[in-house]
Structure 1
Amino acid sequence: MTVVTLPMPKRAIISVSDKTGIKEFAQGLVALGWEIISTGGTAKFLTENGIKVTPVADVTKFPEIMNGRVKTLHPAILAGILADQSKPTHLEQLEQLEIRPIDLVVVNLYPFEQVIQKNTDGFNNLRSQNLEAFENEAIENIDIGGPTMLRAAAKNFHSVAVVVDPHDYGTVLEELKKGDISLETKKRLATKVFAHTAKYDGAIANYFHSSLRATPSTSPGINSGSAAIPSNEIDSALPRNDFPDSLTLSFKKISDLRYGENPHQTAAFYRDADNGAEGIAGVEVLQGKELSFNNILDANAALNLIQEFDEPTAAVIKHNNPCGCAVAENITDAFTRAWDADPLSAFGGIVALNRTCTPEIAEALSKVFIEIVLAPDFTPESLELFKSKPNLRLLCLPRLNRHPALDAGSRNKRKDSKRVNGGLLVQDKDESVVTEKELKMATKKHPSKEEVYDMLFAWKVTKHCKSNAIVLAHNGATVGLGLGQTSRVGSVKIAIAQAMKQFNNVAVKQFVCASDAFFPFRDSVDELAKAGVTAIIQPGGSKNDGEAISAADEHNISMAFTGIRVFRH
């Protein structure tokens, strides 16, 4: 009599925190004759859904211990995953040790990132008042066994398939129904695992670094006494413990873009894994064509600018610079004044509002060419009017009017980065806020209440203009912008020319001027005086501050120092 030995069923180990689709996937495996090994909560979930599982303890002959901290860290599991099934010696060793191979690893990890996000406001500012309880929760959600199994399976992808993303369950089942999972698919799944575990470890490293941070010192204050502020005080360094020795950044692709900054460049858009939903990556596109690379850059510049303001504010942006910006009692008036600041440059730009878009604004914009309208909301009537321009992109971001630096309880500073050849520059994002009480009056004449209002308005706009930047403002609206020039007096002359053109070459009384850095000579002050400027706001800090102050006194101009420079390159 011949004894027929049936082949052992293939084995999958399943241990998931995210149960999405796992019941159907496991049912599909069982239907194909697979044995399922499972752990803890996953085993309980599958059993309750009528799916037969082999508890991991039955495989390891060792109980789960330490509240589940040690479950799968055992040779009976890891050797089964790591065995290269193309090598006879590996298979012989498994047989000698009575360990069966594991052919499929299905794991997603403890929700560490979700725990961190739940306890922060999206800008890495901690909500929880109980830091010890928060840290304990975070630590207990650092997965050890999961990443170990994932990395082991991904390393051994020739022999083992590994699934970390529930979206891949369908693909894996379809290939198994046809016989086996292709090597190409196994390699793709392994690639996804290594990206996932790198992101996971990066989130943990970033959390631990942030928990070690000392509270940053405040920005240099405004000196009393001498009007001239020494440049070494303006540029004094903040503590460097805000920046780790090794920096891990994690981004997830949202989409491929049609092209990059220019048509011959390819491009894609990625979301910040930590807080992308708080920015441009989190916008809802209500209408219009696909966003381009330049659209996204300009929309981001617009968002950064209008988040400076609490009052109704509108801005027109083009090539990452403002064409116009205005505040008013209502958003319609703010838009009208921002547009009128430079309607020629506004052609083909984008409009950003920090209040709901009104029908009046929609009607006006339906008659001109712009690329984008960005707002926290749109009235039904405005959406109906915009239908006449189906290619116009309407972007909705409900939290758009929120300036993170003004949030109560803000602790940690957001970071900006810029790529350079062979490296990355990282700095605190400039979320400085200057108020009237922080101004240092440098001249004999002090500004009026109305001038102070315009000075602070212009200062906020200046932060978002390419250096060298000069902003002329009147009654809560820009009237002249001189941007991106290599000489400060050159920017002054451009801003004045624009203002004179808009106001029919007649100097408007009570122009104010904001400069993103100090005036190295008196020439800029002399030019501003000719144009009718009555007040200037600037950082101070030049060795020639005295010369600029003397010029302002000669022209009866008020001048205030902020003590903060706001270059933008």
Structure 2
Amino acid sequence: MPRDTTPVTRALLSVSDKTGLVDFARSLSERGIALVSTGGTHKALAEAGLPVTEVSELTRFPEMMDGRVKTLHPAVHGGLLAIRDNPEHQAALAAHGLQAIDLLVVNLYPFEATLEAGRPFDECIENIDVGGPAMIRAAAKNHADVAVVVDVADYATVLAELQTHDGAIGSEMRRRLAQKAFSRTASYDAAIANWFAGEIGKEDAPAFRAFGGNLGQSLRYGENPHQSAAFYRSPGIARPGIATARQIRGKALSYNNLNDTDAAYECVAEFDPACSAAVAIIKHANPCGVAEASSLLEAYEQALACDPTSAFGGIVALNRTLDVEAAKKIVEIFTEVIIAPDASDEAMAIVGTKKNLRLLLAGALPDPRAAGEIVRTLAGGLLIQGRDSAVVDDMPLRVVTRREPSEAEFADMRFAYKVAKHVKSNAIVYARAGATVGIGAGQMSRVDSSRIAAWKAAEGAKRIGAAESLAKGSVVASDAFFPFADGLIAAAEAGATAVIQPGGSMRDDEVIRAADEAGLAMVFTGTRHFRH
């Protein structure tokens, strides 16, 4: 068990990020703590006029190979790993003229930042720290006697601890620092391992996998108040969205807010902002309205019209810079979050009139075609799959019915299939003129999803006083094949004129016959979009 407090008489500092370094080291020195340092850290401390010993004086060996070899030496690791209460360890230190190190301060080469900046392979390799993680692990293992600091944010806490304990660090603090240190090296190694796997063309199922992250935000609770939660950013992965977003307005985000906002932004990113303005309104991770138009205002109004009841308290995602006209309209109803690549100053001011409405600016849109991974926990393990990066615009659409779709139907089918990709299975989406008019999500049977979507479209007609369901003249998208003709027949009865689906059912011929009998045009994509 660690002793209650450990006096600090010697500290080794070796940092890449020198934020706050000089002030921290000066405070240590003023307490009479001897400073030892390496390379650039030594230079910074010496130039600040602090008494500091270069690590080569401890090792009696110069830094070499462009700094690749400097701390991998018994003088360093013996000083970190020696157990103070172990006579043999103390005898070994004395016999070899080594000195104990009580405090290690290390932050690592900026591998993640180098990766996020898109630097070349060789530069990424050179930013893989070797000596730093070795020292961190040594100090963390020996936390009964050594304190290890890997985060600039902990400098003030350590100084306060030294003040409280008259130059010593308590066991609770050392344990907390050690846990953080092991987590830091694990996250760092995970970033390296996953990047390297991608560079060499990784196996579909490698023998070992590593995942890590740094805390982005502590959350009040998870999906429910009795569940704890936090958001972690994946090191080295710069996919635009939640992790890159700046929160401009509104109260703190919740677990559900983050989950739903991620779903909304991934959905709206399917629509190229150079081609059209697009808006996705999400509730409980499912789209309740999506539309594309010539302006964000028009797209929002059409998306909202699909299901304004569900949109209340929802998430609004935009594929273009939020402008004044769209902002004015969005704030008319209660909305939890708006996320967009950017926003004009005037639009931000409008959003600011709603104190609880969060505005997130992600800087860019995620690439729907980009590779990536989805990770979920199961009891005792992880379930990992590639991101669904299939895009309907890249798919060969095969007409399987006697009637060919019109150009307008083709356009709406592509639109509807983009939306269906982001609807929980079983998914059915009715769309017309670049907007959803009915969505059925997450049902146990596809025919039930089709009926719910048709009912939503009929309710939409009632809201605006239309004589016919909004599904009349629409197209319908199904995320997977129709196992029976009943789902397709339900779509035809609702008024759909064309269908887009993957195909591949044993009963495809039966479904095609039903489409022909109903006068529908139907295309197969050959690509399924299950989403669970």
What TM-score, normalized by structure 1, do the two folds share? Answer: 0.86
* Residue equivalent to 2:3: none
Question: How far apart are the structure 2 equivalents of 1:149 and 1:461?
Answer: 50
Q: Name the structure 2 match of 1:304.
A: 266
Whole-angstrom CA distance in 1 between matches of 2:385 and 2:296:
33
SS at match of 2:186: helix
Secondary structure, aligned partner of 1:181: strand
User: How many equivalent pairs are there?
Assistant: 516
Deviation at 1:276, TM superposition (A): 5.6
**Aligned residue for 2:234?**
272
- Deviation sequence 1:356-385 (CA, Å, 0-9, x none): 333333333333222222222333333333
Matched residue of 1:371: which SS?
Answer: strand
Tell me the distance in 1 between the aligned counterparts of 2:394 and 2:241. 29
User: Displacement of 1:430 after TM fit?
Assistant: 0.6
Q: What is the letter of the counterpart of residue 159 of structure 1?
A: D
Q: 2:409 aligns with which of 451, 462, 466?
A: 451
2:277 maps to 1:289: no
SS in 1 for 2:243: helix
Give 2:97's aligned residue.
Answer: 98
From the superposition, tell whether residues 9 and 462 of structure 1 become closer, same or farther in structure 2 (CA, over 3 Å): closer
CA-CA distance at 1:404 after TM superposition = 4.3
2:139 aligned residue: 153
Unaligned runs of 5+ in 2: 1-6
Give, as a single letter, the amino acid of the residue that structure 2 aligns with 1:192: K
1:123-522 alignment runs, 5 A limit: 134-177=120-163, 178-213=166-201, 241-275=203-237, 278-310=240-272, 311-400=276-365, 402-405=366-369, 413-435=371-393, 438-503=396-461, 504=466, 506-507=468-469, 509-522=472-485
Deviation at 1:462, TM superposition (A): 0.5
Aligned partners of 1:436 and 1:456 also within 8 Å: no
Query: Distance in 1 between the 2:73 and 2:367 partners?
Result: 50
The CA distance in 1 between the partners of 2:332 and 2:40, in whole Å, is 60
* Partner deviation per Cα, 1:521-564 (whole Å, 9 max, x = no partner): 22223222222211110000011111111111122211100000
> Do the aligned partners of residues 76 and 435 (structure 1) sit closer, same or farther apart at CA in structure 2, a change above 3 Å counting?
closer
C-alpha contact 1:493 1:527 (8 A) present in aligned 2: yes
Deviation at residue 467 of structure 1 after TM alignment: 1.1
Report the AA paired with residue 187 of structure 1: R
Report the alpha carbon displacement of residue 29 of structure 1 after superposing the two structures with TM: 2.3
By how many angstroms is 1:309 displaced?
Answer: 0.3
Contact preservation (8 Å) 2:279, 2:291:
yes
Instruction: Give yes or no for contact 2:290–2:419 (8 Å, CA) kept in 1.
Output: yes
Q: What code does the residue aligned with 1:530 have?
A: E
User: How many Å apart are 1:51 and its aligned residue?
Assistant: 2.2
Shift in CA distance, 87/552, structure 1 to aligned 2, threshold 3 Å:
same
Distance 1:267 1:294 in 2: 10
1:33 pairs with 2:32: yes
Deviation at 1:474, TM superposition (A): 0.7
Specify the code of the residue in structure 2 equivalent to 1:210. G
Query: Quick one: which amino acid aligns to residue 18 of structure 1?
Result: D
Opposite residue 560 of structure 1, the aligned amino acid is V
Alpha-carbon distance in 2 for matches of 1:72, 1:382: 53
- Structure 1 position 68, deviation (Å): 2.6
Could you tell me which residue of structure 2 aligns to residue 550 of structure 1?
Answer: 513
Q: Is the 8 A contact 1:209 1:244 kept in 2?
A: no
Which secondary structure state, in structure 1, belongs to the residue aligned with residue 335 of structure 2?
A: coil
Counterpart amino acid of 1:403? D
Tell me, yes or no, if structure 1 residue 113 matches structure 2 residue 112.
Answer: yes
| Stretch moving more, 327-336 or 382-391 | 382-391
- Residue pair 1:436, 1:452 contacting (<8 A) in 2 also: no
Task: Tell which deviates more after alignment, 387-396 or 244-253.
Answer: 387-396
Of 471-480 and 9-18, deviating more is: 9-18
2:7 is the counterpart of 1:42: no
The letter for the 2-side match of 1:182 is: G
Contact 1:372 1:393 in 2 (8 A): yes
Q: Deviation string for 1:449-486 (max 9, x for gaps)?
A: 10100000000010111111111111001111111121
Q: Deviations over 1:333-365 (max 9, x none)?
A: 000111111112222222222223333333333
Q: Distance in 1 between matches of 2:529 and 2:267?
A: 13
CA distance 1:268–1:276, shift in 2 (3 Å): farther
Q: Quote the Cα distance in structure 2 between the aligned partners of 1:383 and 1:358.
A: 9
* Residue equivalent to 2:77: 78
Q: What's the CA shift string for 1:144-163, capped at 9, x where partnerless?
A: 22222221111112222222
**What secondary structure does 1:107 align onto?**
strand
Q: Give, in whole Å, the separation in 1 of the partners of 2:469 and 2:142.
A: 75
Q: Which whole-Å CA distance do the structure 2 matches of 1:135 and 1:528 have between them? A: 52
Three-state SS of the structure 2 residue aligned to 1:533 is coil
Question: What SS does the aligned partner of 2:85 have?
Answer: coil
Q: Secondary structure at the match of 2:168?
A: coil
- Offset at residue 500 of structure 1 (A): 2.1
Shift in CA distance, 360/66, structure 1 to aligned 2, threshold 3 Å: closer
Q: Secondary structure at the match of 1:171?
A: helix
State the Cα distance separating 1:112 from its structure 2 match: 2.2
Mark the CA change 1:203 to 1:350 in structure 2 (over 3 Å): closer, same or farther.
Answer: closer
Query: Take 1:376 and 1:141, find their aligned partners in 2: how far apart are those partners?
Result: 30
Is 1:251–1:271's contact at 8 Å kept on the other side of the alignment?
yes
- How much does 1:140 deviate? 2.6
Deviates more, 1:389-398 or 1:498-507: 498-507
Which structure 1 segments of 5+ residues have no match?
1-7, 120-127, 129-133, 215-240
> Match of 2:499, as an amino acid?
I
On the 8 A contact 1:86/1:159 being kept in 2, the answer is no
Deviations 1:314-334 (A, max 9, x none): 121111111111110111100
Q: Normalising to structure 2: TM-score of the pair?
A: 0.92
In 1, the alpha carbon distance for the partners of 2:123 and 2:318 equals 40
Q: Is the 8 A contact 2:327 2:351 kept in 1?
A: yes
Deviates more, 1:373-382 or 1:258-267: 373-382
Contact 1:9 1:33 in 2 (8 A): no
- Assess, with a 3 A threshold, how the Cα gap between structure 1 residues 377 and 68 changes in structure 2: closer, same or farther: closer
Match of 2:497 among 512, 529, 534: 534
